[in-house]
Amino acid sequence: MDLATLKEYLPFLIPLVIAQYALAITALVHVLRHPRYRFGNKVMWVLIVLFIQFIGPAIYFAFGRGEE
Share of the chain above pLDDT 70, in %: 94
Residue 66's region, left for phi above 0, alpha for psi from -120 to 50, else beta, is beta
* DSSP string of the chain, one letter each residue: --HHHHHHHHHHHHHHHHHHHHHHHHHHHHHHH---BSSS-HHHHHHHHHHSTTHHHHHIIIIIB---
Q: Which residue has the higher pLDDT, 67 or 28?
A: 28
Encode pLDDT of 6-15 as tens digits: 889 999 999 9
Encode pLDDT of 31-50 as tens digits: 899 888 888 888 998 998 88
Residue 62 scores a pLDDT above 90: no
